[in-house]
């Protein structure tokens, strides 16, 4: 499936989503809504298990909010569609793994899309910045997420100054999983996606829902929610064929065959 600004490619259980809006892969309202529809389709398709999100070209992953569209009157508080800006960071019920393959600069909202992924791979030349401070506006999602992903003082440095952070520094703070040569980035992302796609989808769903729904709760309160099977994904997992299959495969010293039910 191909849209003017968003290209998608299916490979078995893996969906690749490529933002393709020259020159900087910036996102306007129309593109954000397309991305929201694409990621919602991924969420709702039982045949798809993992997504990769990346940008076209070698310079930009995404420059974030399209300032040209803003200058023409598109408001910062526009309705960006299902999933909020970029279609990913506010998408409800997304219980499947997403890998961000950062092929260049991830700026502002582009950085926030990367933060919405579960794993981040970066090309050696990739870099990250939140320049909103210089434009007198708020990097809203990053303000919430970044201090939870890296040391508070480093996150505040990025938020308050808008400075650039290269891939090596991002790796040092644990913000990216791996740094790769640019020509190896997508191959590694596809290998990782294939590995995840072979894993137990009901467990992945439970992990993502548990993290999302218990954030901010005291440990015992969160544990009570899990052991009480109060989350749909956990309840489904604990009563599933896959749970029995995992135990049988372990006992029989063979690889499990996951059915997602």
Model confidence band, residue 2 (pLDDT cutoffs 50, 70, 90): low
CA distance 64 to 86: 8
Q: How far apart are CA 249 and CA 229, in angstroms?
A: 24
**72-81: burial string, b at 16+ Cβ within 10 Å, e else:** eeeeeebebb
Q: List the chain domain ranges.
A: 6-197, 201-251
State the average pLDDT over residues 197-225.
94
Share of residues in the chain with pLDDT > 90 (%)? 82
Residue 159 is predicted with a pLDDT of: 97
pLDDT of 111 reads 97
pLDDT at 218 over 70: yes
- Asked if the model's pLDDT at residue 13 lies above 70, the reply is yes
- Is the pLDDT at 18 greater than 90? The verdict is yes
Residue ranges in the chain assigned as alpha helix (H)? 29-44, 67-71, 109-116, 140-149, 152-161, 167-172, 185-197, 201-214, 219-227, 232-238, 241-251
Question: Residue 73: pLDDT above 90?
Answer: no
What would the pLDDT profile of 138-162 be if each residue is shown by its tens digit? 889 999 999 999 999 999 999 999 9
pLDDT of 45 over the 60 cut: yes
Residue 69 pLDDT level (bands cut at 50, 70, 90): low
d(CA 91, CA 81): 10
Distance CA 210, CA 220 (A): 13
Q: Give residue 4's pLDDT.
A: 80
The whole-angstrom separation of Cα 72 and Cα 67 is: 9
What are the catalytic residues?
Answer: 112, 132
Grade residue 65 by pLDDT with cuts at 50, 70 and 90.
Answer: confident
Residue 191 pLDDT: 97
> Hey, what CATH topology would domain 6-197 get?
2-enoyl-CoA Hydratase; Chain A, domain 1 (3.90.226)
Our CA angle for 204, 192, 232, nearest 5°, is: 10
The answer to whether the beta carbons of residues 47 and 194 sit under 8 Å apart is no
List the single range of 11-25, 178-192, 234-248 with lowest mean pLDDT. 234-248
pLDDT band at 136 (very low <50, low <70, confident <90, very high): confident
β-bridge pairing 127-129 and 105-107: parallel
């Amino acid at each position: 499936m191909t849209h003017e600004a968003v290209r998608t490619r299916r490979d078995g259980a893996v969906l690749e989503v490529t933002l393709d809006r020259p020159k900087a892969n910036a996102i306007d309202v129309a593109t954000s809504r397309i991305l929201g529809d694409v990621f919602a389709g991924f969420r709702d398709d039982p045949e798809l298990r993992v997504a990769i999100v990346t940008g076209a070209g070698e310079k930009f992953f995404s420059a974030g909010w399209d300032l040209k569209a803003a200058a023409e009157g598109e408001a910062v508080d526009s309705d960006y569609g299902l999933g909020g800006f970029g279609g990913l960071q506010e998408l409800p019920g997304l219980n499947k793994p997403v890998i961000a393959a950062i092929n260049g600069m991830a700026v502002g909202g582009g950085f926030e899309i990367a933060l919405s992924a579960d794993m981040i791979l970066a090309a050696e030349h990739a870099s990250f910045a939140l320049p909103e401070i210089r434009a007198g506006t708020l990097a809203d999602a990053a303000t919430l997420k970044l201090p939870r992903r890296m040391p508070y003082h480093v996150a505040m440095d990025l938020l308050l100054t808008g400075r650039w952070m290269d891939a090596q520094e991002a790796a040092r703070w644990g913000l990216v999983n791996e740094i790769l040569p640019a020509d190896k980035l997508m191959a590694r992302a596809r290998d990782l996606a294939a590995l995840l796609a072979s894993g137990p989808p009901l467990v992945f769903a439970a992990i993502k829902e548990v993290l999302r729904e218990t954030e901010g709760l005291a440990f015992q309160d969160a544990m009570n929610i899990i052991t009480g099977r109060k989350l749909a994904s956990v309840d489904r997992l604990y009563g599933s064929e896959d749970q029995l299959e995992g135990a049988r495969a372990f006992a029989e010293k063979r690889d499990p065959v996951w059915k997602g039910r």
